[in-house]
Amino acid sequence: MTDSLILEVADLEVDVLTGIYSEETGNPQPLRITIQTRYDIADRYDPDTPLDASKNYMDLKFAASEGLPKDVHFKLIEAVADHICESLFVQDTRVQAVTIKIVKLAIAEANEKIGITMHRERPAD
């Protein structure tokens, strides 16, 4: 089995311009976003290992919040997930794969979780 390291930011709530129905367009909708990244692992993590031997969790949070353009309307939440994936791949070449889970909070009627999970592997060069 190959070693791997998964970093995760879970249940981040972000308002995003998204949706296809008239009641959804024009106003940001609350989304709950969870991001997992798998990336190249160091040989060992000693107590004094510097941060650059890992990935900063705040980079994941930024990609799903301030890193999303505020003036772009994403018709599909799949496009939101794609944007986050691309941002993380561009940010750090060590990122091997990204999994994004997005739940649309505004359409839940009985606390159900309606949304998508997208998994992307780093594109081949």
Task: Give the span between the Cα atoms of 79 and 96, in whole angstroms.
Answer: 20
- Counting every residue written for the chain, the total comes to 125
The residues pairing with 18 across neighbouring beta strands, listed in sequence order, are 74
pTM tops 0.85: yes
Q: Which two tokens stand for residue 1?
A: 């089995």
Confirm if 98 and 37 have CB atoms less than 8 A apart. Answer: yes
In the chain, the domains with their CATH numbers are 5-121 (3.30.1130.10)
Summarised one tens digit per residue, pLDDT across range 23-61 is 777 889 999 999 999 988 878 889 998 888 888 889 999
**For residue 30, what are the CA distances in angstroms to 12, 59, 92, 124?**
10, 20, 27, 33
Helix (H) or strand (E) holding 80: helix 77-91
Task: Give the span between the Cα atoms of 55 and 85, in whole angstroms.
Answer: 15
Summarised one tens digit per residue, pLDDT across range 91-123 is 999 899 999 999 999 888 888 899 999 999 998
